[in-house]
Structure 1
Amino acid sequence: MLGLGFGDCGKGLFTDALCRRWSAHTVVRFNGGAQAGHNVVLPDGRHHTFAQFAAGTLVPGVATVLAYPVVVHPAALLVEYARLRTLGVEDALERLKIDHRCRINTPFHQAAGRLRELQRGTQAHGTCGVGVGETVRHALCFPDHVLRYGDLARPALAMKRLDLIRRDLLAEFSAMAEKPARQGLARLEYQVLSDEGAAERWLSGVVALLRQVPPASPARIAEHLNRPGCVLFEGAQGVLLDEWRGFHPHTTWSSIHPEAVEAVAAEYGFTARVEHLGVLRSFLTRHGEGPFPTCDSALGLLLEPHNTSDGWQGQFRRGHPDALLLRYALSVLGPLDGLLVSHLDVFDRVSALQWCDAYQAAPTGDEANLMHRDAARPDLVTQLLPGAPGNLAHQAALTRLLSLAAPRYGAELITSSPALLERTVALAKCPVWFGAYGPTYETVRSVAASP
């Protein structure tokens, strides 16, 4: 399952529903880390926001695999496990397998990531404040200092690497000690990096996880995945936040792409054909910083108890369907087997949505490499063009374009879910497999919408 937007598209709901419908035995998390926030609501009112456990965990017997290259936050895993126990799920850790190669998200990465975002000021990227991106960045800069899940079983080695990580990051932010920026939130985060006893306390706290979830070898995970039955691959974030295809720098240090799924499947010798499903909402949302052309404050009435503007990400925004962003997402992902569409009950709360079919935008630099324009109306952008893989300069130029773009809406309003699905299918040239008409798996049903 791959999100087609900026996240918050319903991957948790569909993972829970499809685990039940298809009797899945395992859900594989193949990217990201603890910054995921996949909401699952049960018909009896129980709710959980899944960060690291798979969103199928409320289904009895469904296992979670945290595959390499997922970034693991052990302390947060224990907190999430405690929360699941209050919901009656006592065996979540027994059903969890973690590849021993997974990089570890420490409190030092978390503090450094927050400090880096605070330093950006008005140029904030939109961090979740968990430290996943900082863990990946640090591993690239200091490959010999990386702490992996398997290392936690060797306390002396783990302590050595924890101290190296803390010192690496402390050196980077040491200049803050003499600046006013160290006050407030920054001061608290800097204290984490300065605390020489923090590593030992943190390590002693996560030992409980190692006792219940020992590091797993790729061979052991492969044996588990290749049992008969259904396996789901649950992606984190959406492709518009992809590290290479998202709108730089408001992205995640993670790949949301069929190739990422196929690479993980191949790593564990999973030979069954993987069907790739794109997940999207009936309307767009964006949590945190970054351009959002169809954002409409009038849609703020679409309140969601599990998506608020609190925390490090900041404002949760809503917008109308955007054909250009959807077409862009589909172009960078390549062919999909089907679509999953959530929040199709939106028309119970609003009378209509608008459909953005073009942007009005002033000419920019090398625009020929950024967009297609309407032949009759050169002021109208009709398509965004991705750059070559790894070309972050191109992605940053797209970000600037989106920041200046104003949506051009079609004359005809969308007033029903069938009308919305019809437009979506026509654009995607891909069938909708299932739609969700509410927050629980009971509202998910097959949709007869195909090109």
Structure 2
Amino acid sequence: MQATIVIDLGFGDAGKGTMVDYLSRKMVEPVIVRFNGGAQAAHNVVTPRGTHHTFSQFGSGTLVDGVRTFLSRYMLLDPYALLAESYGLEKLGIQNPMARIMVDGEALVVTPFHKAANRLREVLRGDGRHGSVGMGIGETMADMIAFPHLAVRAQDLRSIETVERKCRGLQELKYAEFKELFAVISATGLLPDELRLLTDSHAPKMVAREMVRIARLFSLVSMKTLQRLSYTHPLIFEGAQGVLIDEWHGFHPFTTWSTTTNANANVLLSEIMYPDVVTRFGVVRA
């Protein structure tokens, strides 16, 4: 079969989604592999018939019949955002889009506690805000490094007890960090839901139940699944963001918590012992 990698050679927003949609229409039932970033991605596709969708976690070829998405371990999974995106696709006539999603069990999961802390932290920066989109990506990565025992992985979504335990630990961690500043944040009138999430003792259980419920709608898999698929399906590796904001090679401090080059895609191809030629596209703005 064939494998193709699509990355952005700039700062992002160069048209990766359009390229992936185009390639998907030239192939038979390709599998789109997401290999960096998370739900903060915004890959716009407008079909020749005028159908428009902004892809975040679903592969940007999902408007094409038979296309499936594999979220690799390098992707940060946001179950809530994934479900919301599936509703948008259903309105466009895509039947049961969640059935087209496969998630590597090793993928990190962004929880509502990460997103709440991300948004609170951004508000507290005042005029020095970073411009964060508030999706908890950096927060999740930082916590994974500092508190690996609290990292929720996609494979944990099979167990309500495991997810609840880790979410309770995350809630306690974030509460301890922000409790002295609750009055300051409350005075702004901003983010009341985020404050409640860090103080509601029932929140970890409710979050765990909902994330496990959502996980039942997609397939939890491993790299062996991707290897089997590579025998019979073309693979399109869809990057996110752009190489100029890469965590290792970008222009600091304007960088992301993500490897935006084709490095992760190369690792995945090596792990499945892909034997054929790989085509690499770098997208730039016209």
With structure 2 as the length reference, what TM-score do the two structures score?
A: 0.92
Query: Conserved in 2, the CA contact under 8 Å of 1:72 and 1:149?
Result: yes
CA spacing shift, 1:111–1:101, aligned 2, 3 Å: same
The alignment partner of 1:212 has SS state of coil
The equivalent residue for 1:99 is 104
CA spacing shift, 1:280–1:181, aligned 2, 3 Å: farther
| Residue number among 265, 268, 275 corresponding to 2:269 in the alignment | 265
Q: CA RMSD in A?
A: 1.7
Q: Provide the aligned length of Structure 1 versus Structure 2.
A: 281
Q: For residues 240-251 of structure 1, what are the structure 2 equivalents within 5 Å?
A: 240-251=244-255
The equivalent residue for 1:416 is none
- AA aligned to 1:163 is R
Q: Cα deviation per residue 1:384-421 (whole Å; 9 max; x = unaligned)?
A: xxxxxxxxxxxxxxxxxxxxxxxxxxxxxxxxxxxxxx
Give distance in 1, aligned partners of 2:239 and 2:187. 36
Task: Report whether the alignment pairs 1:197 with 2:202.
Answer: yes
The equivalent residue for 2:219 is 214
Give distance in 2, aligned partners of 1:157 and 1:50. 30
- AA aligned to 1:266 is S
Query: Conserved in 2, the CA contact under 8 Å of 1:35 and 1:128?
Result: yes
Give distance in 1, aligned partners of 2:42 and 2:118. 18
- AA aligned to 1:68 is R
With structure 1 as the length reference, what TM-score do the two structures score?
A: 0.60
- AA aligned to 2:81 is A
| Residue number among 207, 223, 226 corresponding to 2:228 in the alignment | 223
1:43 Cα shift? Answer: 2.1
The alignment partner of 2:219 has SS state of coil
1:11 Cα shift? Answer: 0.6
Give distance in 2, aligned partners of 1:136 and 1:92. 27
Task: Report whether the alignment pairs 1:278 with 2:253.
Answer: no
The equivalent residue for 1:32 is 37
Query: Conserved in 1, the CA contact under 8 Å of 2:79 and 2:215?
Result: no
1:257 Cα shift? Answer: 1.1
1:117 Cα shift? Answer: 1.5
1:180 Cα shift? Answer: 5.3
Task: Report whether the alignment pairs 1:178 with 2:183.
Answer: yes
Q: Cα deviation per residue 1:291-326 (whole Å; 9 max; x = unaligned)?
A: xxxxxxxxxxxxxxxxxxxxxxxxxxxxxxxxxxxx
Q: For residues 49-88 of structure 1, what are the structure 2 equivalents within 5 Å?
A: 49-88=54-93
Give distance in 2, aligned partners of 1:44 and 1:106. 36
Runs of 4+ in 1 over 6 A off after TM superposition: none
Give distance in 2, aligned partners of 1:131 and 1:273. 36
CA spacing shift, 1:184–1:270, aligned 2, 3 Å: farther
The equivalent residue for 2:259 is 255
- AA aligned to 1:205 is E
The equivalent residue for 1:389 is none
The equivalent residue for 2:165 is 160
Give distance in 2, aligned partners of 1:209 and 1:189. 21
CA spacing shift, 1:237–1:182, aligned 2, 3 Å: farther
Structure 2: unaligned runs, 5 residues or longer: 1-5
Give distance in 2, aligned partners of 1:20 and 1:7. 23
Query: Conserved in 2, the CA contact under 8 Å of 1:125 and 1:250?
Result: no
Query: Conserved in 1, the CA contact under 8 Å of 2:159 and 2:212?
Result: no
Give distance in 2, aligned partners of 1:245 and 1:123. 24
| Residue number among 213, 218, 233 corresponding to 2:237 in the alignment | 233
The equivalent residue for 1:133 is 138
Query: Conserved in 2, the CA contact under 8 Å of 1:126 and 1:250?
Result: no
Give distance in 2, aligned partners of 1:254 and 1:5. 14
1:141 Cα shift? Answer: 0.8
| Residue number among 19, 42, 53 corresponding to 1:14 in the alignment | 19
CA spacing shift, 1:182–1:169, aligned 2, 3 Å: farther
- AA aligned to 1:89 is I
The alignment partner of 2:125 has SS state of helix
Give distance in 1, aligned partners of 2:65 and 2:20. 14
Structure 1: unaligned runs, 5 residues or longer: 283-451
1:42 Cα shift? Answer: 1.5
Query: Conserved in 1, the CA contact under 8 Å of 2:34 and 2:70?
Result: yes
| Residue number among 148, 153, 156 corresponding to 1:143 in the alignment | 148
1:187 Cα shift? Answer: 4.2
